[in-house]
Structure 1
Amino acid sequence: MLDTAYSIETPEGIDLKAQAAGPVPRILAYAVDVFYRSLILLALGIALAFADRAGMGIWLLCSFLLEWFYPVFFEVVRNGQTPGKKAFGLIVVNDNLTPVSWGASLLRNLLRFADFLPFGYAAGTLSMVLNKNFQRLGDMAAGTLVVYRQAGGQRPELPKVAPLAPPRGLQLQDQLAVISLAERHGELSEARQRELAGLLEPVTGKSGETGLQYLRAVGCWLLGSR
């Protein structure tokens, strides 16, 4: 059976889940981005028409930058979403579901030339169809994937505790584990939650119910509660 669910387990025993995006919404998102880039180039062409050869040189340079670095800029600076991906609720992340980095985004986009071969993104489309997580060649090389962004209104109810700032030096993977624990507090038994909180005792310095309540408070802080 076709299953687009993607999940990983952190070293702390927390399951992180996402829904992989298939070829159709990704192709539509790419078409939207091409449309926006074309509008920008059209406007530049009109503005630079009077500059003769210099204007043509500037237009070609801008065309190159838009083609290869437009997606990189938006994916890193705008939370993994180009305008096209945002229109379809998609987001680019690392394959461990952490935010995509400059290096990974640059690699996955520079390798679009391989996905284009032999023409019309045939290799990339075939790769997505044959890959269970719908990764194109650039995604597999960079260790990234495209998933659906969870709508804000679908966020589960958070624990009713006063938020606390995380301890200094809390690693990104530990932050993701704490966030997952806070979001799933209604799904897991108290015993299981205390067990998971115990795994982070070396980081928090707290154990048992005290450690669990502390992690819930930190999770609420990381999710934006103040």
Structure 2
Amino acid sequence: MDVRNEVQIPAGDVQLTADLRVPPEPAGVVLFAHGSGSSRRSPRNVAVAQVLNRSALCTVLVDLLSPAEEAVDARTRQLRFDIGLLAGRLAAIVDWLATAGPCGSAPIGLFGASTGAAAALVSAAERPDVVRAVVSRGGRPDLAGAALDRVTAPTLLLVGGLDDQVLTLNEQAREALPESAELTVVPGAGHLFEEPGALAQVSDAAATWFTDHLG
């Protein structure tokens, strides 16, 4: 039976709240970075995490902003686009996973959505010896900037076929990523993958990617 916990994770001068789910004998751990204006309770990320759990992967869904910062961001909408801040928080959580060991010594992967994908890629570039795989769902990898050239972790970019602008940005980012990076287009899906069966395709693709590269 999976063990579920709400935990507090230190990240610099803040404590971040996360939902941790640990399956028996986890083969890997996946840290989620949600997109702009979302939270660790994003129904789409929760749905993906449940599929990963069934594939023996530990999952960590975390709010990258403190409650006080969330209140500020609700007014200004600025912190959600502060990729440097978010990536730094992710890197701190990666360090915590590697040292505190809530999922044992399982290898670490990152799953990012929207702007969270950029933060995940920057964090992967900053922790190349620790982060073993990255998956982006409808992400903005272009916001990772020059860090794309320093990403070494195998990266899967998942984009909806109807999400024209984001698809173009992902095609461009794919050229800057390592040869191990792949771009997969989900036909008939928009930015949020709300179409019937679209999110299931994302979940299955992510589970396969992480199982192959973390297992």
Computing the radius of gyration over CA atoms, which structure comes out larger, 1 or 2?
A: 1
Larger relative helix fraction: 1
- Larger strand percent: 2
TM-score when normalising by structure 1: 0.28
